[in-house]
C-alpha cells in the first residue's frame, strides 16, 4: 500500500481586521430620497435622530471611551449618505472622530455613502480631516439593475466613484446587493449579472466588500412591487450558492469580505416579507466556499484526515452539518478533522 501523502492548503482569506468597528447610525441622513429596498430604521434598528443630537451623543461617548482608556476601535458612520449630510456635518463628524485618534480610542474612521455623492473635492477634504475609508453603496455595476432600482446612477458612475475614493487617498469598500430587480423583466437580476459584478470587483480590488442579498422589507417600495407581482427576490439557495462561488476569487484577490447579509437587528425579522434571509449566511457560504477549495486541491484524490487552523474549525462541516456528507464522499470523517495552531491546512490523502 502506498504511504499517505500530505497536501498543504493555505486559505486565501487575509487576516482579521485589527480593530472592531463601532457603528454610528445616521438613518437616511443626507439621502436624496428613499431607495426602493431601503427601510433604514428597520435595517439598523435605530430611529432617525437630529444630527446635532447624534453629534453630541457621540462626543460624550468618545469622551467616556478616552477617559476609560478604552481599547482602540474604528468608528464607522453608516445608514445614510454621509458625504451629502447637510450643514457640513460630514466634516464635523470626521473632525470630531479624528480628535480622538492621537493616543485616544479611535484607530480609524470610515463612512458609507452613495457613488453619486462621492465627489473628489469633498473626499479629499474629508481625507485631510482624518477620514480613512469610504464604503460605497454601489449595489450593482449593472445598468439594468441600477435603472430598475431607480438608483439614479449607472455602472460607469459607480466605477468612477471607486476611482475617486482611491484618488483621494482613502481605502475603498464596496457594498453589493445581489438580487435587485432588473430591467427589462423586473423580477430579480440574474445570477449572471451578479457574477459580472464580482468580475468588476476583481478588477477594482477594493480592500473590503459587503454582500447583502436583496430582501423585501415591509414599508419599502420593493414590498409594494412584490405585492403587485412585479418583483421576486432570489431564493435563499441562489443567494447562498452565488455568494459561496464569489468568495474564493475575492479572497484570492486580497479583498476582505466583511459582512454577509444584514445583521439581525431587533425588529428586522418580523419585517422581512420575502427574500433570502438567513441568520448565519456567513457561516453557510463560507463553509461551502472552503469545501469547494479543499475539494479542488484534492484534484480527485481521497482525503483520510485533515488538520486545520482553529479559525476555520466552526465552519468546516457547514451550517447545521450540511457538509458532513459531502466530506464523507471525499473520504473525510468528522473524527478525522482536527484543529491545530498552524496557519495552514494539511490534507492527508490516500
Give the Cα separation of 256 and 81 in Å (integer): 23
- Sole binder of ligand SF4 in the list 9, 12, 34, 122 (CB under 6 A): 34
CB closer to ligand SF4, 13 vs 41: 41
Residue 271 binding ligand SF4, by CB under 6 A? no
**Contacting range for ligand SF4; rule: CB under 6 A; set: 4-12, 76-84, 196-204, 309-317:** 76-84
- Minimal CA–CA distance to 118: which of 168, 179, 50? 168
Give the Cα separation of 31 and 117 in Å (integer): 9
Give the Cα separation of 230 and 179 in Å (integer): 14
Binding to ligand SF4 (CB under 6 A): which residues in 137-156?
137
Residue 220 binding ligand SF4, by CB under 6 A? no
Give the Cα separation of 230 and 341 in Å (integer): 52
- Sole binder of ligand SF4 in the list 24, 31, 51, 281 (CB under 6 A): 31
Residue 38 binding ligand SF4, by CB under 6 A? yes
Smallest separation, CB 84 to ligand SF4 (Å): 9
How many residues bind ligand SF4 (CB under 6 A)? The answer is 11
Give the Cα separation of 311 and 218 in Å (integer): 37
Q: What CA–CA distances, in Å, run from 124 to 9, 121, 169, 308, 326?
A: 41, 5, 8, 44, 50
Smallest separation, CB 189 to ligand SF4 (Å): 16
Residue 28 binding ligand SF4, by CB under 6 A? yes
261: region left, alpha or beta (phi > 0 left; psi from -120 to 50 alpha):
left
Binding to ligand SF4 (CB under 6 A): which residues in 81-100?
81
Query: Phi, psi (5° rounding) for residue 152?
Result: 90, 10
Print the binding letters for residues 97-136 with ligand SF4: x by CB under 6 A, - otherwise: -----------------x----------------------
Give the Cα separation of 327 and 189 in Å (integer): 32
**Contacting range for ligand SF4; rule: CB under 6 A; set: 26-34, 96-104, 267-275, 305-313:** 26-34
Helix axes 51-67, 89-98, angle to 10 degrees: 0
Give the Cα separation of 95 and 89 in Å (integer): 10
Smallest separation, CB 90 to ligand SF4 (Å): 14
Smallest separation, CB 115 to ligand SF4 (Å): 10
Q: Which residues bind ligand SF4 (CB under 6 A)?
A: 28, 31, 34-35, 38, 40, 79-81, 114, 137
Amino acid at each position: 500500500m502506498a504511504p499517505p501523502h500530505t497536501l498543504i492548503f493555505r486559505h486565501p482569506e487575509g487576516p482579521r481586521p485589527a480593530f472592531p468597528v463601532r457603528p454610528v447610525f445616521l438613518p437616511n441622513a443626507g439621502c436624496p430620497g428613499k431607495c426602493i429596498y431601503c427601510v433604514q430604521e428597520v435595517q439598523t434598528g435605530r430611529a432617525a435622530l437630529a444630527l446635532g443630537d447624534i453629534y453630541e451623543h457621540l462626543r460624550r461617548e468618545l469622551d467616556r471611551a478616552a477617559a476609560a482608556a478604552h481599547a482602540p476601535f474604528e468608528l464607522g458612520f453608516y445608514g445614510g449618505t454621509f458625504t451629502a449630510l447637510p450643514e457640513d456635518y460630514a466634516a464635523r463628524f470626521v473632525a470630531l472622530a479624528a480628535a480622538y485618534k492621537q493616543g485616544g480610542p479611535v484607530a480609524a474612521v470610515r463612512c458609507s455613502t452613495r457613488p453619486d455623492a462621492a465627489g473628489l473635492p469633498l473626499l479629499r477634504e474629508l481625507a485631510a480631516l482624518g477620514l480613512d475609508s469610504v464604503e460605497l453603496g454601489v449595489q450593482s455595476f449593472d445598468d439594468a439593475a441600477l435603472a430598475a432600482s431607480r438608483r439614479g446612477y449607472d455602472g460607469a458612475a459607480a466605477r468612477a466613484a471607486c476611482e475617486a475614493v482611491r484618488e483621494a487617498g482613502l481605502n475603498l469598500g464596496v457594498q453589493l446587493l445581489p438580487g435587485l430587480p432588473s430591467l427589462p423583466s423586473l423580477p430579480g437580476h440574474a445570477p449572471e449579472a451578479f457574477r459580472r459584478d464580482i468580475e468588476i470587483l476583481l478588477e477594482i480590488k477594493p480592500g473590503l466588500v459587503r454582500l447583502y442579498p436583496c430582501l423585501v422589507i415591509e414599508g419599502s417600495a420593493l414590498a409594494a412591487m412584490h405585492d403587485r407581482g412585479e418583483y421576486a427576490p432570489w431564493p435563499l439557495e441562489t443567494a447562498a450558492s452565488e455568494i459561496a462561488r464569489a468568495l474564493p476569487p475575492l479572497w484570492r484577490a486580497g479583498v476582505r469580505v466583511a459582512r454577509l447579509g444584514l445583521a439581525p437587528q431587533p425588529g428586522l425579522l418580523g419585517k422581512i416579507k420575502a427574500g433570502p434571509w438567513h441568520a448565519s449566511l456567513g457561516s453557510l457560504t463560507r463553509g461551502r466556499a472552503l469545501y469547494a477549495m479543499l475539494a479542488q486541491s484534492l484534484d480527485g484524490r481521497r482525503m483520510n484526515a485533515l488538520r486545520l487552523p482553529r479559525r476555520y474549525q466552526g465552519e468546516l462541516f457547514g451550517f447545521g452539518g450540511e457538509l458532513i456528507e459531502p466530506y464523507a464522499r471525499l473520504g473525510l470523517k468528522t473524527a478525522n478533522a482536527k484543529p491545530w495552531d498552524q496557519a495552514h491546512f494539511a490534507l492527508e490523502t490516500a
